[in-house]
A and B are shown apart, each in its own frame.
Chain A
Amino acid sequence: MMAGLGRGLSWAMLGLALVFLALPILMVIPISFSSSPVFAFPPQGFSLRWYQNVRNADSILSALSLSAQIAFLSTCASLLIGTLCAIAIVRGYVPGGRAIATLMVSPLMVPGLVLGIAFLQAARQFGLHDTYMTLLLAHIIVTLPFIMRTVLASLSLFDFTMIDAARTLGLSYPRALWKVMVPNILPGFMSGALFGFVASFDNYPVSMFLVDVRTKTLPIQLLNQLEISPDPTVAAVSTMLIALTVCALIVCDRLVGLRRMAAI
């Protein structure tokens, strides 16, 4: 009787949590199609004018392009240096592998704003004034922990004797890694890269201090717009972002499986 009550309660809480989690996201979509500039519920009228607004808003489009570039490049850089480092840790080439692994994921525990301002001041002190480069370098620290975590997990399951076999068959060490190891741990790469990309693409706290008036990432641009004059254009951009996220998740689910991705 009591156990049944507990079970009922936990299902009720899950239902409540799911509705609660979905509500703000679902709220944005109808607003983006409404014809009135105020966010009333239930929304009035139907129009696509806010989407046309997005197409004409250069600031949003350039922010979108900048965010995509920074996220892509920093994820690629982190994949490369992160994987090399993960091999050295898993194979015991470096002393203190556990400590290094902890260090590599530790930026996750540091508030993003603190990371951002710290890097900005250091970069300026050492004469790095280029906004693009500053953002890109800072985002390596945003993406690297996610990639390290998943790649370390997949590499610890990878059988490195296969590399030795490939070398016996005449491949050089880098080629053996590329031809044998990379295809084997592709799911780990995929989920690490996806998490890293999303973390960078969505990141506002690290970027906040690093952007300038002309070079803004998408989250910062949206944040500024919301602070100054929120209108349904932001809802239209948000709806497109949600659609993009859902597409990316479906692709990843087909390729790797969502449960498996979230598990690592």
Chain B
Amino acid sequence: MTILADSAVHAALPVTADRWRVEPRALMALPALTAMALIFLLPLGLLLAQSLWDANGFTLAGYARVLADPYYVKVIWDSLKLAFNVTLIALIIGYPAAFALARARGRTQVILFALVFLPLTVSIIVKTFGLMIMFRREGIVNWLLVTMGFVDRPIRLVFTELSLVVGMVNVFLPFMILPIFAVIRMLDPRLADAAACLGAGPIRTFWRVTLPLTMPGIVAGASIVFSIGVAAYVTPTLLIGERYMTMSQVMAKAFLNLRDFQLGATMASIMLMIALVIVFASSFLARGAKGGR
């Protein structure tokens, strides 16, 4: 419609320009496109090239080295496993929470929404620092456990895989709740009533009506949490350190400490490919969720 209006305006103006000439206002897109090309696309291309070329020309040695080394394979596997666990737990907490948020009304909803949204604006480093304090021997978690009599003495929480998963769920949970909330809010609550009228029980209604309709939100939330989880750096570094190496940590170490650029570039390229796979998988799943209706 906008294009139609535009051509109407053009028809009204005297045509002096050659019809083959590029629309001069297309140049408005040029600065941003140049920035994208030079700061985003070109560097990523060079990085990919760096993982594939060495002094002797084209080689897959970098990938062969990483994928043949059980240590690096374990790092990749551990990163994926961590991201999967975090996504799953965030979904289990986030889905019902988003439902309650969407069913809240008026002022209550605004306040609850702000409470979910606010932590996103607080620096991830501040939150991770808070988590470090919570999990310490003298921290609030141990204090609660001892005070309530669950344990006799403070237990070790820092530098455990459990605290890492809990910490990452904490940091990424809003990214799960908000997209699901956005979808549920659009959902007509009468659909569930209609299903009930037609004789479906609550469980059947949920499986056949509510869950399929909210699938786009689940796909969106899960793909965001998984993709930032698999690339997470700060939370693993501070909460567990070298005991649980993720791809990001290996990559940072390769560039900053080992100065092994082939290893770093290869790890970075693998992360980039995982990110691409997530994008394609989520858009495929989202289309499936829409088509399945």
Tell me, in angstroms, the Cα distance from A121 to B251 when the chains sit together: 14
Assess the B29–A204 pair: CB atoms within 8 A: no
Query: A75-109 interface mask toward B, CB cutoff 8 Å, 1 = contact, 0 = none?
Result: 00000111011011111111000001001101101
Tell me, in angstroms, the Cα distance from A209 to B253 when the chains sit together: 11
Chain A interface, DSSP helix/strand/loop, else mixed:
helix
Residue of A nearest to B102 (CB): A10
| A46, CB-defined interface residue at 8 Å | no
Assess the B272–A110 pair: CB atoms within 8 A: yes
| A6, CB-defined interface residue at 8 Å | yes
B contact residues around A82 at 8 Å (CB): 32
Assess the A13–B97 pair: CB atoms within 8 A: yes
Picked from A14, A27, A110, A208, the residue with its CB within 8 Å of the CB of B275 is A110
Assess the B3–A227 pair: CB atoms within 8 A: no
Q: Which of A54-62, A181-189, A241-249 contacts B (4 or more CB under 8 A)?
A: A241-249
| A111, CB-defined interface residue at 8 Å | yes
| A235, CB-defined interface residue at 8 Å | yes
| B248, CB-defined interface residue at 8 Å | yes
Most buried by B among A12, A13, A246: A13
| A7, CB-defined interface residue at 8 Å | yes
Tell me, in angstroms, the Cα distance from A113 to B136 when the chains sit together: 28
Indicate whether A113 sits within 8 Å of B231 (C-beta atoms), given known contacts A13-B97, A118-B268, A209-B255. Answer: yes
Picked from A39, A117, A140, A242, the residue with its CB within 8 Å of the CB of B47 is A117
CB distance from A4 to the nearest CB of B (A): 9
Picked from A27, A80, A209, the residue with its CB within 8 Å of the CB of B140 is A27
Assess the A92–B2 pair: CB atoms within 8 A: yes
Residue of B nearest to A173 (CB): B25
- Interface of chain B residues 232 through 260 with chain A (CB within 8 A): 233-234, 237-238, 248, 251-252, 255-256
Assess the A85–B126 pair: CB atoms within 8 A: no
Indicate whether A204 sits within 8 Å of B40 (C-beta atoms), given known contacts A21-B170, A27-B130, A111-B271. Answer: no
User: 6 smallest A-B Cβ distances: which pairs?
Assistant: A24-B130, A111-B231, A85-B32, A122-B43, A118-B43, A10-B96
